[in-house]
Structure 1
């Protein structure tokens, strides 16, 4: 058992007027203003966040300064949608194999039994995109097994609801889940370009229970335009920030009271297509404009220190072709609300070749510091790499007070 000096909580989903739903924590209404990730908890609390989302039970035991994630959340007054990883067929799991099924059921039971009494637990995140990120949801074995797993969770812990997360809200998938997984309390949906429309989508599919927008953020790398050589064009940092704000506000407004909250993704840094596409922080710890936008969406107030804003990033070779070792220049126009002194970090990075699906781990591509001749200000002098191939120019701007911004563009050496 995981010990805690505080009493465990009782969390329920309860119907409200006109088909709406509400989350009740120890009898009091509770709104999820959430983030997907387990770092920068102090920042989350400061800007009005209430909840984090994890994906695997191992995250709950990770210690910082001798304290587990659950302990740190409890101290800050944050709650956790505790993810229990449910295996994917695309990773080799066979939903027709009785031995694997039994092993997974036993693991789920052990997870719930171990953590159910910790007061920071808000709900169980039973699976994430286990149907497959690009699947149509037609494999009924997955939904029927989730029904069995949900019954195990409820048998062990009747005091916390279950949320299962799917990729997108396509009608056939939602209806399959409704048919074969009736014990589900809360539907979780991961969506990016279509995040603002999730409330309408689940309603059109016939879903009448509560739901959560379980991941949202910038337009996905599979949803954008590409260069002629296939490099996806990453949205600008300011465009991403606007997406976070609009998605959160829109899904709540269009949910007819059935949306219990949202989880911004990803509360941290992650290499996925690029080093900056989804992360709301840099690897060096600074927050990006997306954090400011979420703060404003939640509270109507901006953080006391806003991140810098890259107004323009310009280069004649952006999304174009250059010769090996060609001399190049790039320039940016950057503003800072507080007038902070800014530092500039220009980088030339190879296009990622380790591309996965469904958020699986990707290795970062190499950088080429020798290609930055001068890069300590808003104008950079660069040198094209000697080896032909696809690359990107990144600009990182920091204000020295915990705020940053980052943009990039692809180019081809040929």
Structure 2
């Protein structure tokens, strides 16, 4: 049958305010690259035998996409790589040392700079920055911050890089600009005078701020909050759970969050009133529900992946509805289903469907939005109507349709 995504656009009753004027409509998703087992086929826009798994891609405001590729064949060996492209074309633009490991996600800014992690390099582990204009990547120096390992690097419009620094005694948040790094926060393991017992995965914005869930309780979980940390070491509480604020509507936060370039945040948390999981947005003034789980309603489950948010406050997230796994976008008033299990998508091999041969997840990693509202996602594929045939996983972009803003959306054939 033909499914019109407009049938999934519902009013979230009881929610006030509006950041995004209306939900965008989307053109049919376009395949950027596809990986498959070499015994099945050579894949698409990737070297034969190249492979990625459980990764997250990123997209800039002009629609360029970048993502990590764990295996790029090199004779009898393999290397990690970075793919870069747009509009259905692209290629591997960087490869690391033989048998090194690359992070499962990377971050891309609008200048064509991408940051990611390499490890097991034989002495050159750390944060790497790929410059598309120069067609080269280099390790990022972070003096005077020299952790044992790095995690969660992000890059902003100015080319500054924020990250989590992991030491044997504890964790810190830091950023580097003009070749010099600054600490934003440390936990009690590094500084006994710190208020924070544990620092969770941060995100980085254009103001050179790191925003993250942090714990203040000895058990790391019963009292947590989301804070913004500036490069001068100051911080501001944005949202707290019940363990930190007796009036909070939130029982507990998921560990990761999304941060827009202009400082808005989106996160998934458990609502105190009824113990249901909710996608929230906070813009510095208003805490707003984007979507809430209702076992008999539209959103049956929220998956344990962070959402994505853009400067307009549009939020994308992974969920399950009555038909299975799906990716939704919401603005606080309405929700739109962009793609889900069973949907038909055009591929290089012909008409395919989003799905697996079994009950495994059909999406990989987290979806990502740019400031136009374009969405990049990774989906498992099989031929139309043939779930037992393996077509691997494809990276797709669902672009906002120029003539579909405020419209009903695109149709997905099923």
State the TM-score, normalizing by the size of structure 1. 0.27
More strand by share: 2
Q: Which protein has the larger Cα radius of gyration, Structure 1 or Structure 2?
A: 1
Work out which structure has the larger RCO, using CA pairs closer than 8 Å and 6 or more positions apart in sequence. 2
